[in-house]
Amino acid sequence: MNAAAPIAITLGDPAGIGPEITLGAWQALRHDPASCFFLLGDPEHLTRRMRALGQDVPIRQITHPHEALPGFADALPVMALENAVRAEPGSPDPADAPAVIESIERAVAFARSGEASCVATNPIAKHVLYEAGFRHPGHTEFLAALCAEDGANPPLSVMMLWSEGLAVVPVTVHVPLAAVPAQLTREQIVATGRIVAHDLRTRFRIDAPRLAFAGLNPHAGENGTMGREEIDVIAPAIAQLQGEGIDARGPYPGDTMFHARARAGFDAALCMYHDQALIPIKTIAFDDAVNVTLGLPFLRVSPDHGTAFDIAGKGVARPDSLIAALRLGARLAAGKA
């Protein structure tokens, strides 16, 4: 990781709000060289979107990441993709999938070589990519697959939603709620806890991370009267992590973990399913939470929202979460989190 290198921003779905929040992020950060970034995109498409929004952001084409910092305050650096983009705002087109995928692949390559300090991913629409033959379950799984060496299994990656006041990790992510109990294993919880503890130490510079685990059932199972997952799965996983020297606590009732006094007692909350984790952080930090992927051999951050096709091109998309992601990425790359 090269902290002096710029951050590589991916295209995301070009029919979504990614292009306009990237423009907004440059306007907000142009005088902050520590947060310097470049976009892997289509300069002509970006210019069309900018003009349709009535904006006049100068664009400077570059051919290598090291060209991003000189002149960053004066123009948005864009590295052109081989695949052109044709999507109109709000109208996703599977024909743009090659450009979306190329942008991700090149950003990861730059991060792994040290030519980019971090990858910041604009939101994609998986259903659009699926129509074009994309075979990965999601964005993060694709990033992990790009790190697999010589046919080896991809590294286990963990999604953490981070804000200044709260960090949460869903142990199971994009699975139906009815499938959660079957997928929630002791091994999965332990593996997730190890990665969170490791990256909080190495990336976030927290010497002794405190991990609080939520229960799955109401009242954390009420001593088994509302379900036995806490007794049979979650508590043994916590005990195993404690035996490895990790400060793991719980399981706690999910409805009492997120008030201010409770949040002061842990550095990350590990929740058993998607909404148990994301509802509290999106309530507390809707506009400035950041999606951070743990467990990868490079830094990856992302805004904590989707493509927002319904508002794309209307000039109302807020770049706050992308700005927060870029600032966090720069801090982590510099070892200052």
pLDDT, tens digit, for every residue of 282-326? 999 988 899 999 999 999 999 988 999 999 999 999 999 999 999
φ, ψ dihedrals at 30, nearest 5°: -60, -25
Residue 328, class by beta-carbon neighbours within 10 Å (0-12 exposed, 13-18 middle, 19+ buried)?
A: buried
What band does 133 get if pLDDT is binned at 50, 70 and 90? Answer: confident
C-alpha span between 49 and 122 (Å, rounded): 16
Query: What is the fold of 165-282?
Result: Isopropylmalate Dehydrogenase (3.40.718)
In the chain, CATH 3.40.718.10 covers: 7-155+296-333, 165-282
Is domain 7-155+296-333 classified as CATH 3.40.50.300? Answer: no
Q: With a cut of 90, say whether residue 150 has pLDDT above it.
A: no
Is the pLDDT confidence value at 127 over 90?
Answer: no
pTM equals 0.90
pLDDT of residue 142: 87
Residue 1 has pLDDT above 60, yes or no: no
Indicate the pLDDT class of residue 3, thresholds 50, 70 and 90: low
pLDDT, position 337: 62
Tens digit of pLDDT for each residue in 152-169? 788 889 999 999 999 999
**Chain segment 255-270, per-residue pLDDT in tens:** 999 999 999 999 999 9
- Which of the residue ranges 128-132, 178-182, 316-320 would you say has the lowest mean pLDDT? 128-132
> CB of 41 within 8 A of CB of 76?
no
Which residue in 75, 73, 136, 74 sits closest to 101, CA to CA?
A: 136
State mean pLDDT over 1-6: 74
* Span 195-231, pLDDT tens digits: 999 999 999 999 999 999 999 999 999 999 999 999 9
Can you tell me the distance from the alpha carbon of 107 to that of 103, in angstroms, rounded to the nearest whole number? 6
